[in-house]
Structure formats: C-alpha cells, structure tokens
Chain A
Amino acid sequence: MMKLMKEIYIIWLREMIRYWRVKTRLVSSLAMPVLWLVLFGSGMKSTLSMGGAGAEFDFLQFLFPGVIGMSILFTSIFSVMSIVLDRQFGFLKEVLVAPVSRSSIALGKILGGSTTAMIQGTVMLFLAPLVGIKLSFGLVFALIPVMFLAAIALTSIGLVVASRMKTTEGFQMIMNFLMMPMFFLSGALFPLNDLPVWMEILAKMNPASYAVDLIRQVAFKFMDAPAFLVDNLSLELFGEKVSILMDLGIVAVFGAVMVSIGVLLFRKSD
C-alpha cells in the first residue's frame, strides 16, 4: 500500500512540475472560460432576466458556476490525455518498463489531471468579483473539494479515451464529438429543464450535468440566490429536484466506475 501511494505520488508530482513549467497552458486554458463568461455572459445578460425586474440575480450569476464547471471539464480531460503525448514522445515507455504497477501510473495520472483542473477552477473562482459575485472564504473552501471530486470523475473519462489512443491526431475529434457536446449539454450555459425531450434525455445522461449542477448548487448557497430561483435552475431527475447530496452521490459513483474502467483499460492497453 505504501509502495502504491509512493508510486502514485511520483507520477502526480511530475504532472505538477510540468503544469507549473508550461505557464502558457495555464494562461491559455483560462482564456476560454473567461471569454464565455465576459463576452457571452454579458451579451446574454441583457436579453435574459432571471430574477424578474429589480432582482439582484442575473444571468452572469447563473453562468459563473457553469463556466467553472466547464473549465474543470476541459482541463480534466485534456490533462490526462497528456498520456497520449507521453506515448507519442516515448516517455511513457520509460515509465512502463520501471518496476511500477500500471494502476499507480493510471491513478497518478488521474490525480495529476484532477489537481490541475482543481487549481484551474480555483483560479477561475477568484474572477468572481469581475462579474459582480462576492467572493467569500466559504465559497472557495466549499467549492474546492467539490471541484476536485468532479475533476476526478471527468479526468477518468479522459483516461478511458486516452488508453485507446496512439497519437494526438485524434484530439480534435475528441474535442468536437465528446467535449463540446458534453459542454453544451451540461447545463453550464442554460438550465436543463424545459428542453426538448431528446435533448433533455441526452443532458441527463451526461455526467458533466451533475458535476455542473453540484458546483452550481454549492456556489448558490454562498451567493444569496433567491430560493425559488435555485429550485428553478437546478437539475430535475424523474420529476424530482436533484439535491446536493444526490449530485454528490451520482458524481462519486460515476467517478468510481470510470476510474476503475480507466485503470483497467490502461493496464490492458500497455
């Protein structure tokens, strides 16, 4: 067990060093969520009023947790796909011939990707005042573990995909056919209730929806969102409001299943 932990730590540490070294990645991966938030958010704000006239709540406040979710979704999946880069540039071989268990490598990668995503999400959080959301210690500390859990679940999706990929040429396809649909159907940009049936079904099968809903519901607790709005904007499943606990459960179970599949596939593929 100690051996496993130490191995996971080593793999994780390398991810952290690399993340820190490649600062352009840090900046560029912040660019997209900020664009969505500032340009898309401010643009839509004027046409959508959510709390009715005079309410302190607007579209930006709805969008903000969603964009954090999006930032975690993208960072998670892309970070763990660095395993494909490692494979293509030969470094993976160095790790694979070492007396290290395959599971440690996979788990180290998942944790590395999740930590990266969590840091990214946290940095995003500090942009809250930019869109008129009050930043509080409670908000930050409540969201960090939640973001980390969501990140683990999403990172393992990346590992499942990456364990089948030999070159980075497929990245664009993953972006177009997996990540963008997951993003649009996650409720990050608009509430998922009252959608056309086919879209609602897809959205509710999308694990990212629960991750985004979880982040949003936790964030709302610290944002003085009117209760009726929280109810309106949160996810519904089979006619029931999904509570924070249910979101947490779904994300955790999904995460556990995906981590297992990811680790298994990785062990098999190499």
Chain B
Amino acid sequence: MKRISWGSCETLFTPAYWKLQYHLDHAEEDFSINHRLSDCIYEEIVGCMLGLYEFQCEYRTEIFYRITHMGSKNWFRGNTVLNLILSIFPKFPTKRMQYITELISDKDSLHLTIDDDLKLRSQLLQVNGIGWKNASWITRNFLDSEKVVVLDSNVIKACFKMGLYEGLKNRSSDYLRMEETFIEFCRILDVIPSKMCSIMNDHVRTLK
C-alpha cells in the first residue's frame, strides 16, 4: 500500500482522525448491525433493486414487506411482483422495474453461490442493473462479509482525501484496487472494514 501521512486526529479525514473516531464509536455503542434484509438471496437482490439500501421510504418498505410475505415460490410467478409494485407505487422508476423483471425471468440460470463471498459478488455482477457497489452491498449484507467493501462516493472521497487512492481513477475502472487498498488500510488500523465504511460515510455526508 502507498505510504500516506498519519496526520493529526484533530484534523478531519486524516488516518489518525478515522482511527480516533472508530475508537470513540466503539467506546460508546455496541455498533452491531444486522445488514441482511432477507434470508432469500433473490429477495435481497430485489430489496437492493427497490432501492431499500439507499432510501428508507414507506412505499419501498411496503412493497418489500408484501413480497417477503408472499413466499418466494409465489412472487417468482409471472407478473406478480410487477403488479404489486404498480399497485403500491404506479410511478416506480421504469429502469428499476425492468431490472426486477429480468431478475425474475433469469433467476434459474444465475446459480448463485451463497457460501463464498467473492464468488457471489462475481455472479451478481452478471445481473443486469447491478454494478460493483451494489454487488458488494448485497454480498456484504447477505453474508455479513468483510471480504468485500461497499465503496460509495463518500467513502471514496475520504480515501482520495487521505491520498490512499492516488493514481486511481474511479469506481467503475478501479473498484478492486480501491477495495484491496481499503481492506489493507483497515488491517493496518486494526479496524473492521464495514464499520470503518459506515463511519466514513456518515462523517463525509455530515460535512456536505
């Protein structure tokens, strides 16, 4: 990993700052998070496609609640989910709807592996509408994985700020190198990657 300055814990977004904030967070709360939306991987994917990881709004939650209570055998049939979505939220984004339709029709050919973090993420990348961030997000949530990292724009910004990502361009071209660097950074700081991600996201967002 590239050598970067430790900095002062009194100054925002230095490695020293992140280590301190992680420590303070742990000192004050248990900080255990149940990431998983569902025990069914396909429901987890639909939850992601519905936008539940990003938006906690009532109609998305209602749709997801109704889907999970149908049982997977039922919601995989025909247009059941699409009809449900439209009945609750007629203006649901067309693109997301299309991804959900494709997931339902292609699910038998996906053969998702749910006992191997990296393999699962790699398979999820084959699903239309799922890029690196969402594939990592589903994997992290479903398997409680620390082998993958959810690099959202706030975390990436924090890492660029520290100089950790010098020479790298963006998420779509450099995701794996960014992730590898982030995990190594967390190992050196002796912190858990998913928790460090959560703190970084929270702090960068607060300063916006």
Partners in one complex: no
A interface residues with partner B (beta carbon < 8 Å): none
